[in-house]
Amino acid sequence: MRRTGKIISMALLATAAVACAPSTAGGGPSAAATAKALPGPSLDADADLVALVAAAKKEGSVLVYDSSGDIEEVAKAFTAKYGIAMEGVKSDTPQTAEKMTREHAADNVTIDAAMYEDGGVLVGQLAPQGVTQTWIPGDLKDQIPAENQNPLLALSKATVFGYNTRLSPGGCPVKNVWDLTDPEWSGKLVMQDPLGKPTVLSFFTQLDAYGNQKLEQAFQAKYGKPLKTEEKSAALEWIKRLSLNKPVLTGSDEDISAAVGAPAATDKKIGFMSISKFRNNEDKGYHQAACEGMTPFVGFSYPKYAAIAAKSRHPNAAKLFVHFIMSEEGVKHEIGEGGISGNSTVKPLVTPPGLSDWQGQLFHTDPKGLLGDLRNRQAMSDFWRVNRS
């Protein structure tokens, strides 16, 4: 079974804190407004796929890092199609970014391309520092919406609130995200530790930037009165209450899935986990579904970007990988359990039970707020840590 490790590199976060000092506000829009412009993407307007394949074969191999073990399946398919040895390595995004930065500085590059879930580090550090570059295949450009081109969005995945369908046959026992802050659910939410999971931290900062109105409305719907808080926003109040309600923190989505949906489970728990873990229903006989109808969202979507190492030793093979992952043939291995390709012509293959409306049920990461995510990460980490202690 493919598993994704979740150990964060504190050294990289420290670098991020120095490069982009965090503010105490949760503002994504204001941070984005002052963002330094990204280097423009490289576009082969007259790209010849046949010529690219031939050049890639001369280079002989390509090494790609990804936070998901799904990259191993992509590598097998790539090699089978083109006869070029591709190695796909599962590595946490912070560790990948740190390794690529060090290799770039030492002029000793081994990683040719990478798939990044941490858009903040990509747009705030790696691309502006010249460590990575964005390449868009000319023959696919018209299939990739403009907002997905820089950085290049390969696909979107999701993390959702899920429950055990055997223990709760009538549906998810949680109807509102504020329910998870009530004493009834103390110690019964299982989630990854945000301090070791950049996508969860980004969800928190994005929620503070763009989700306050919906959270206030959800509070009003649940309690019948307006939210009153001493915090600067409804998002911060929800995050604080969530942390104070003693969620069980893990280092992997696999552990969350086991705690919630395993056949032997006897205690009703809610898991905040990647939709990729719904494969356990078939693979392990788990009983899991997303909390359909949960107010104001069932979970959040997050982007995964494709980038090429600027000093790649196999630049044509790296470009060919990007072309492959932007096609249905390549990306299907990453969105097999649910997800949306950055190529508008590639339709979703499946969605996990309970997530029937990707657009309407999820809180969506706004790419305009990626730099704000990076700038506010340390402040959000400190906020979580203080309230958790």
The CATH superfamily of 10-156+302-351 is: Periplasmic binding protein-like II (3.40.190.10)
The pLDDT tens digits for 181-231 are 999 999 999 999 999 898 999 999 999 999 999 999 999 999 999 999 999
pLDDT tens, residue order, the chain (389 aa):
333 333 333 333 333 333 333 333 333 333 333 345 566 666 565 668 999 999 999 999 999 999 888 999 999 999 999 999 999 999 988 899 999 999 999 999 999 999 999 999 999 999 999 999 999 998 999 999 999 999 999 999 999 999 999 999 999 999 999 999 999 999 999 999 999 898 999 999 999 999 999 999 999 999 999 999 999 999 999 999 999 999 999 989 999 999 999 999 999 999 999 999 999 999 999 999 999 999 999 999 999 999 999 999 999 999 999 999 999 999 999 987 788 999 999 987 767 899 999 999 999 999 999 999 999 999 999 999 999 87
Distances (CA, A) of 238 to 105, 216, 223, 364: 41, 10, 14, 18
Q: How far apart are CA 317 and CA 314, in angstroms?
A: 5
Amino acid identity of 195? L
Q: Are 10-156+302-351 and 158-301+384-388 in the same CATH fold?
A: yes
Contact yes or no for 66/90 (Cβ under 8 A): yes
pLDDT value at residue 352: 86
Q: How many CB atoms are closer than 10 A to CB 229?
A: 15
**pLDDT of res. 46:** 61
Burial 82-91 (b: 16+ CB within 10 A, else e): bebebebbbb
CA 80 to CA 95: how far, in whole Å?
29
Distances (CA, A) of 327 to 27, 83, 88, 248, 256: 35, 18, 17, 38, 31
Alpha helix stretches (DSSP H) within 62-112: 70-82, 93-106
Instruction: Fill in the DSSP letter of residue 362.
Output: E
User: What residue ranges do the domains of the chain occupy?
Assistant: 10-156+302-351, 158-301+384-388
Q: For residue range 312-338, what is the model confidence (pLDDT) as tens digits?
A: 999 999 999 999 999 999 999 998 778
Strand 248-250 and strand 189-192: pairing?
Answer: parallel
pTM for this model (two decimals): 0.86
Identify the pLDDT of residue 336.
76
Counting every residue written for the chain, the total comes to 389
Which tokens is 359 given?
């657009």
The CATH label, of 3.40.50.300, 3.40.190.10, 3.40.50.261, 3.90.1150.10, for the domain at 158-301+384-388 is 3.40.190.10
